[in-house]
Amino acid sequence: MRWRAFPLHPETPEEGQSLEELFRAAPEKVAGMIAHLKATADELGLPFGPRTKTYNSRLAQELGMWAMASGKGDEFHLAAFKAYFADGVNLAKIPVLLEITRNLGLPKKEAAQVLADRLYKDAVDRDWHEAQFKGITAVPTFIMGRHKLVGAQNYQALEQLVRLYGAVKREQAGQPN
């Protein structure tokens, strides 16, 4: 699996935006959407807390690319996911991002420089363009060959996708199917 950046509401200001504003929906409708997402997250064992706002994740995506280059990409993405979806943290705030990297044992000073100089801006832009080219409209999206799964998926759905392309479980490798 390879993480890619996606323009998730890039117009969102640094201070965030209420979900009612984002979806242009009444509070009751947003509450229903959040309840549905929470039920899906619970079913899949994913952390998901009460949310009232969305935040701009652009800088988190840039820092995530640096974390990948530093060998801690998966850890960074999982920590950022939890901070955003479970804890409702504003990932547009540089101190928040630096705290995440510090907690992962990544050098805080280097992370601050990556953000200040926007060293991974072009890489994120390339991912955004690729997402648009491939018609990706939501996250997560899992792509293999010409097939894609959109949204959080259970293990069986992901396994079915990779088996479609000939993958086998390691303990089954070399055994007849």
What are the tokens at 110?
């280097």
Sign of the Cα torsion 152, 23, 33, 20 reads positive
Q: Band of the pLDDT at 51, cuts 50, 70, 90?
A: confident
Q: Band of the pLDDT at 3, cuts 50, 70, 90?
A: confident
pLDDT at 125: 97
The chain-wide mean pLDDT, for the chain, equals 92
pLDDT at 2: 81
Q: Cα separation of 86 and 70, whole Å?
A: 25
What average pLDDT does the segment 114-134 reach? Answer: 96
Q: Band of the pLDDT at 117, cuts 50, 70, 90?
A: very high
Question: What is the pTM assigned to this prediction?
Answer: 0.85
- Domains defined for the chain, CATH in brackets: 17-133 (3.40.30.10), 141-172 (no CATH)
pLDDT at 171: 74
**High-pLDDT (> 90) share of the chain, %:** 79
**Residue 53 main-chain phi, psi, to 5 deg:** -135, 160
What letter would DSSP give residue 154?
A: -
**Is the distance from CB of 116 to CB of 59 less than 8 angstroms?**
no
